[in-house]
Structure 1
Amino acid sequence: MKKIILSLSILSLILVTGCSTPDGIDSDLSSVDSTNPGNFSKIFDVSTDNSGLVKITPLAEGVTRSVIALGQGSADPVTVFPGGFASHNYPEGNYTVSITSYDIAGNATANEYPLQLVYRAPENISATTNNFAGTTLNLSATADYANGMQVKWGDTGPGEVATPMTGTLGGTFTVAGHNYAPGVYTLTVIALSGGVATTTQTYIITVNAPFTLPITYESPIQNYANGGTFGGVNVAVVPNPFPGGINISATVWRFTKTSGAEVWGGTYTPMSAPNAVPVNIDNGHKFKVMVYSTEVGKMLHFQLEQGSGGFPNTGIDVPSTVANQWEELVFDFGPLGVPAGTTFGQIVFQYNLTGAGTGEVIYIDNVTQSN
């Protein structure tokens, strides 16, 4: 009996040992090695807004994961799984993107793909160039696809260094106000793509000098629209329609007392700071005005207003003496007793204060002050 029991124990041990590995699981991975991954490729989805954003989507068959080395700006590769992607913002330039693909057995296949980014030139520059506070221009600008903007103010010569503007892609760019001396300048706005391409736009900037006598209607930096009209009168700076005689100026002031205009219709021109220099009687009590009219005898009225020290508004009427030619009319305030040092903040012109307008047109030029 003892021999039989021993034989059964040995047989049991052999049976247990032979069944220690479950069915179908062993170290033979030959079937896994035969997955044959392939058709490796990629998709580069490159933005067109100059942000440099690129979406990288690996493509392959039989791959469990891909590791993307971006080739710029990051030391750590990005791991993505089938159907996934990586995103990165690239500066303009040429790059090599490496994608290492792994199959189910852990075998790696590496591929390199060239990536080129060329930023597009900005388009549709628009700048606000009339936002003046005195002689200080506060500039803002926009442009499609602009990654940055700069400005050259145009008042420091050909070697001027561009001033950066502040803003972001797709938004408005601004810059601190720039103070000009009176004059005419070419302002240049430069839109930057973020790469090599740039786009520029130029603007003519006129910075007016304070309005002052003499009034010639010729200066490019004098605002001859300073002031306004009342009572149905129209005025405009126009080419001299009758050059010759005492006045060969290129431009003059046309004064129209339109049909039906009020008897008292006229113009007013502020002469007060900061946009103008007040009229000081110490600079002369005579005011001379060149006039061209088609009728003899109608009066031109010239008035000084807003006198300092409470001096009242004071005007003088002088008639035209010739028709259809230029003449100089003199308005002498000396006999009116204007105190020395008196200044005036406004001048006024009126024509034919005895009747309503009938469509009369006169031309005025070269308003001067003298003794």
Structure 2
Amino acid sequence: MKKIKLIFSFALLAVTISCTIPEGVSNDDVALSGVSSSNYSKIFDISTNNSGLVKITPTGEGVSSYTVSYGHGTGAGASATVMPGASTTHIYPEGNYMVAITSYDLSGVATTTTYPLSIIYSAPTNVVGVQNFAGTILTLTATGTNANGFTVNWGDGSAVETMTGTLGGTFTVPTHNYVPGIYTLTIKALSGGAAYTVVTYPITVFSPFELPITYELPLQNYNVGGTFGGVDVIQVANPFPGGINNSATVRKYTKTVGAASWSGTWTPLSSPNGVALNTSNGNKIKVMVYSTEVGKMLNVELEQGSGGVSNKVLKVASTVANQWEELTFDFGTFGIPAGTTFNQLVFRYNDVVDGTGEVIYIDNVKQVF
């Protein structure tokens, strides 16, 4: 009877031990060593935006874990442990690499396979440089698809500069102050690798718009500003040289048929001091005019005064027809405080009625005592 009980106890013990082993796993060391990983492969998902980001997804059968050695980087950043079905990512500079994937099977046996990886950055596309001038000072921004950076050659002999920004964003560079002239602005869009894209822009940097206005200077933008109410203006060869005015170029002002009585032109003055009516610059504006009629008035208006000074308007009538004459507009009659500056110059002609197609010519606008 005792012998039977002893055998039962051993049987019970065997059942208990077998229940502690996970299902499907043998406790036989020889059998376990025969369970190995197979069908090793890799998946490289390489970004196409020049970020260098690569997603690595190892695959295989019977694998408990992977170690991915990127073939780039140092320390902890040079590798990663990846569980089955998961991925790891790494950012690569342009170049060629050898990625090593070590697979561990259920018995802990490691198998390492290496895979070549080539990272080639593409030349940026849709490269655009946006220019904003304030006088002679240029503010520049640049964008480009897949651009990792930009360099700028201003074209005036100054040092090449690097723009700052982030991939996919807008890049900016400190403002640049030009000497008036004609230049070629060169923007180089960088991929982050060997490829790049170059765009060029011819630019004309105009002199600050200030008096005197001669309509002769090639680096003066006489069309800055604009017109209102229906008048037309254009620079033309002097059609009536002689007398007091032998200038080569003058401004033709046409008050077209139906142009509003209040029509005219406006010109922002970009010099540092505007038109300063003080003792150092004079308080009179002189304008040469050629008109075909006597008695119609030309307005000269100074606007946007400093220190809260209101706009000032003077009207002077032509006194001769079909010849050049110089009209004087004496702003000293307003008692304008010394040092006052005005940032905008306005011309109007015969502002009491709508236009009938009148044409006048304007030249040599200057400030005198």
| TM-score using structure 1 length | 0.72
Q: Which residue of 2 aligns with 1:5?
A: none
Question: What secondary structure, in the 3-state scheme, does the structure 1 residue paired with 2:141 have?
Answer: strand
Q: Which residue of 2 aligns with 1:100?
A: 102
Aligned identity (percent) is 45
8 Å CA contact retained: 1:96, 1:115: yes
8 Å CA contact retained: 1:235, 1:253: no
- After TM superposition, the structure 1 = structure 2 runs for residues 317-336 of structure 1, keeping only pairs within 5 Å, are 317-319=317-319, 321-322=321-322, 327-331=323-327
8 Å CA contact retained: 1:300, 1:320: no
State how many pairs are aligned.
343
- After TM superposition, the structure 1 = structure 2 runs for residues 12-51 of structure 1, keeping only pairs within 5 Å, are 28-29=29-30, 31-35=31-35, 37-51=37-51
Spell out, residue by residue over 1:42-99, the C-alpha distance to the aligned partner (whole angstroms, 9 max, x if none): 1101111111111111122332222211100133432222212221111111100011
Q: Which residue of 1 aligns with 2:21?
A: none
Question: What secondary structure, in the 3-state scheme, does the structure 2 residue paired with 1:215 have?
Answer: coil
Spell out, residue by residue over 1:134-193, the C-alpha distance to the aligned partner (whole angstroms, 9 max, x if none): 5433333322212223333333x1xx4332222211222223333333344333333221
Tell me the CA shift for residue 116 of structure 1: 0.5
Q: Which residue of 1 aligns with 2:191?
A: 193
AA matched with 1:83 = G
Question: What secondary structure, in the 3-state scheme, does the structure 2 residue paired with 1:72 have?
Answer: coil
Which segments of 5 or more consecutive residues in structure 2 lack a partner in the other structure?
19-24
AA matched with 1:193 = S
8 Å CA contact retained: 2:293, 2:321: yes
- After TM superposition, the structure 1 = structure 2 runs for residues 1-371 of structure 1, keeping only pairs within 5 Å, are 28-29=29-30, 31-35=31-35, 37-76=37-76, 77-130=79-132, 132=134, 134-155=135-156, 157=157, 160-225=158-223, 232=229, 234-240=231-237, 249=248, 252-261=250-259, 265-267=263-265, 269=267, 274=272, 276-278=274-276, 287=286, 289=288, 291=290, 295=292, 297=294, 299=296, 301=298, 303=300, 315-319=315-319, 321-322=321-322, 327-331=323-327, 349-352=347-350, 356-367=354-365
Question: What secondary structure, in the 3-state scheme, does the structure 1 residue paired with 2:97 have?
Answer: strand
CA distance in 2, matches of 1:67, 1:304: 79
Spell out, residue by residue over 1:86-129, the C-alpha distance to the aligned partner (whole angstroms, 9 max, x if none): 21111111100011222223322221110011112222223331
AA matched with 2:318 = V
CA distance in 2, matches of 1:176, 1:287: 40
8 Å CA contact retained: 2:275, 2:341: no
CA distance in 2, matches of 1:279, 1:184: 32
AA matched with 1:101 = S
- What's the RMSD between the two structures over aligned residues? 4.5
- Bigger-Rg structure (1/2): 1
8 Å CA contact retained: 1:267, 1:348: yes
Tell me the CA shift for residue 337 of structure 1: 10
AA matched with 2:73 = G
CA distance in 1, matches of 2:56, 2:340: 75
CA distance in 2, matches of 1:141, 1:112: 41
AA matched with 1:219 = L
Which segments of 5 or more consecutive residues in structure 1 lack a partner in the other structure?
1-7
CA distance in 2, matches of 1:37, 1:348: 86
Q: 1:243/1:96 Cα in 2 relative to 1: closer, same or farther (>3 Å)?
A: farther
CA distance in 2, matches of 1:82, 1:354: 87
Q: 1:225/1:279 Cα in 2 relative to 1: closer, same or farther (>3 Å)?
A: farther
Which region of structure 1 is more displaced relative to structure 2, 172-181 or 114-123?
172-181
Tell me the CA shift for residue 271 of structure 1: 5.8
AA matched with 1:289 = M
8 Å CA contact retained: 1:299, 1:320: no
| TM-score using structure 2 length | 0.72
